[in-house]
Structure formats: structure tokens, C-alpha cells
Copies of this chain bind each other. A is one copy, B any other.
Amino acid sequence: MVTKVLIAEDEDSDNLGIVSKLQKFTNAHIDTAQFCDKAEIMIKRGLQENLPYHLLISDLSFIKGHKKHKIIDGKQLINVVKQAQPEIKIIVFSQENKPAIIKSLFENYNINGYVCKGLYGLQELIKAIDTVIKNDISYTCPVAKEALHQNNILQINSYEVLILQLLAKGYKQEEISQHFIINSILPNSKRSIEDRLRKLRDEFNAKTNIELVVIANKLGLIS
């Protein structure tokens, strides 16, 4: 398995751990980037020099440093990279285990593998690389699979997400209505917002809107 691999991971401890492990199991050429912007540049340089990367292993969350970055998280990085080099394989290696997020990465970001950091994260990462590169099929680690299979993932659309986000920011229902009217978002009556919230409370089994927002937060549905 000879490949050229880029690791995008901000935490130096994780970064070093991944590299140490990969060096034992592959003879791949391994580069690392602690910032998304740097990762993007390296991918594009690889293309220019006709030595493209075959695999990107990327984290999702990157520390917001003092410098301003164009690309601030793994999702954006994946978008940019897939656009520049559609055939590249991407494995996400993150501690994130919220079902909504993992699902969205496969469905909307066309990633090739997902591995949750954890007890056996590195072992799973090796498996994922094998599966994705050798067999050209996608890979989901057991932990992520379990998260995905946990009690039917509740789908909520961006309209509903927005309501919950505004609630979380301290908007009252009347203010949400006003906000929707100003921003031409429909439906925008106070009454309709009430209705959505009732529906959401039902779906998520929340007794109050406070509990609803807390649950949505835990599931990674808002911000």
C-alpha cells in the first residue's frame, strides 16, 4: 500500500500519535497540517506538482487561534478539497459521535470513511485506510455505526434548526416571528412557530422548550 497521505489535525498530541502509528503500518508518505488553510494549500500544491495526495485524514474541529483562518473547520476543508480533487479519499477521524453530524458527512460531504477517536481509534483508522484504499469502499467504525443506529435519528430541517438556534440565543417566540418576517422566511407567524415547537417537543420527547434545546444541543443539531 504505497500512498501519499495528508493528516489534518490541530492537536499536536493526536497528530503525533497518528503519524507514529501509520509509520508502523504503512510505508506511505505522510504529511501533516495543523491548520485547515495549510491543508488546502498542500492538497493544491500536490495537484500542481502532479504528486497528488491519495488520502486525507481530517479532524472536524480545529482550534480558533488568534490568526484569522479562511477555513475554520473540517467540513469546510472537505468541501474545498473534494472540489479541487474529487477523486481523493477522505477519512474523518474525530471524537464527534453525534449521529446527525456523521450522517450528514456521508450524505452531503461524500466522505469515504468515518472513525471515532477512542479506545481503539488508531486500530480502526488502519482498518479504514485499508478498506477505503484497497477495496475502494467506504468504512464506518463500530462506534460511529452504533451512534448511527441509535434510536432512529430524528431529522429536522434547517427551518426548525433556525428556530432552535434563535431560542438558544435568547429570542422570544414573538421575536423569532419578527426576525422571520424581516428576513422573508416562511412561515413566520408566531402561531406557526408555536406549532413547530410543539411538534419538535413531541418528536424529541421534551417537556419544555428548554429541554428541547438541550437535547438538540446534545445531538449536535444546533451550532
Contact of A210 among B14, B20, B122, B210 (CB under 8 A): B210
Across the interface, do B12 and A14 meet the contact criterion of CB distance under 8 Å? no
Min CB–CB distance A219 → chain B (angstroms): 13
Q: In the assembly, how many copies of this chain are there?
A: 2
- Among A4-47, those with CB < 8 Å from B are 10-18, 20-21, 34
What CA separation (Å) do A170 and B210 show in the bound complex?
7
What CA separation (Å) do A15 and B168 show in the bound complex?
36
Query: How many A residues touch the partner, as a band?
Result: 35 or more
Given contacts A214-B213, A214-B217, A217-B214, contact A12 B123 (CB under 8 A): yes
What CA separation (Å) do A30 and B213 show in the bound complex?
44
The 9 closest A-B pairs by CB, nearest first: A17-B17, A170-B207, A170-B211, A16-B17, A13-B17, A168-B214, A12-B122, A20-B20, A11-B117
A-B contact pairs, 13 of them (CB 8 A): A11-B14, A13-B117, A14-B117, A16-B21, A17-B17, A17-B18, A17-B20, A34-B119, A171-B207, A171-B208, A210-B210, A213-B214, A214-B214
